[in-house]
Amino acid sequence: MGDHPPPGVAGGRAAAGVPHLVAEAAAAGLDVRLTVDGRPDGLPRAAEHAVYRVVQEALTNAAKHAPATSVTVLVAYTTDGARVRVLDGPRSAGEPSARAGAGTGVPGPGGHGLLGLAERVRLAGGTFRYGPRADGAGFEVSAHLPRTGAPTVAPATPVAVSPTRELRLARRRVGRMVVAIVLVPLSVAVLLTAVLQGWTIHIAGRSVLDPADYAELRVGQERSTMQRFLPEHQFPYHPSVGNPPPGGEGVTCEYYAMTAEVFNNDRSGDAYRLCFRGGVLISLDALVQ
């Protein structure tokens, strides 16, 4: 038997295809009988083709592996779908079936085709069974194909959007974009300001020269002897008030805060200036704004 329905069946009518299969099997010498009840009207095309393939595979296996048996094909079309049964057994009482695997629950060499057929029936929304008959007299292949067919997903229904609503949505998108453009740089600026202020407070707190220590300093002192009075860090801000620092080659000036209260408007910019030449203090000034 071929794997494709005969002419006139590929389009889908199981009622025409199944009798054709049975007639071909009988002409080839197989003892086969067919009973069809009802009509396949309204049966899904996939289910019709699955009915045809169930009968085709069962007859093919019987012809190959149990040619001495008698085969009965039962097809019933009901309101809920189609039911197919293909049974083989001995031609007469007392004669054992020649079907390979009969009575063991294991199909013969045609088993691989039956496994593929089971998948075809499942995709059509049906159920498939094969194995020894309940009475132990042969082998049975059966399937049920529902009229509803396999579950399908309904196509999405397009939603109509009015021009006014579309305009409102576009305005909202633009509004959100503008807010993001404004808020993101602003948030970054606020964050950087907070970090800078925190760093300033940290540095200012570690660059304060205590007034009592400042009072101990004298022009002419070596810087090495003054080290114990001086803070760990210098004040990053250089006040522009007071006398300009002394000039000349090799002169360096250091600035130290008078207070760690950087947000005290009265004294936050006040600083001490110490100028050295060759490691010797040559001037010291209190720069008060």
Q: Which tokens hold the place of 280? A: 């010797």
Pairing of strands 81-89, 139-146: antiparallel
What pLDDT does residue 63 have?
86
pTM of the model: 0.44
Give 10-residue mean pLDDT values along the chain (289 residues): 43 66 91 91 88 92 83 92 90 46 36 79 91 86 83 51 74 83 83 71 75 89 89 82 85 87 64 92 88
Burial classification of residue 125, based on how many CB atoms lie within 10 Å of its CB (0-12 exposed, 13-18 middle, 19 or more buried): buried
SS3 262: coil
Portions of the chain given CATH number 3.30.1450.10: 211-287
Where are the CATH 3.30.565.10 domain residues in the chain?
14-146
Other beta carbons within 10 Å of 262 = 17
Q: Domain 211-287, CATH 3.30.1450.10 — does that match?
A: yes
* Cα 48 to Cα 189: distance, rounded to the nearest angstrom: 72
Convert 2-41 to b/e letters by CB count within 10 Å (16 or more is b): eeebeeebeebbbbbbbbbbbebbeeeebebebebeeebe
Contact 1, 113 (CB under 8 A): no
pLDDT on residue 205 = 67
Beta-bridge partner residues of 256: 272
Q: Give residue 158's pLDDT.
A: 56
Q: What is the pLDDT of residue 107?
A: 37
Domain 14-146 carries which CATH code?
3.30.565.10
First to last CA, the chain: 110
pLDDT at 179: 82
Location of structure tokens 């095309």: 45
Ranges assigned E (strand) in 79-225: 81-89, 127-132, 139-146
Inter-residue contact 114 to 64 (CB < 8 Å): no
Vertex 159 angle, CA 157 and 163, to 5°: 160
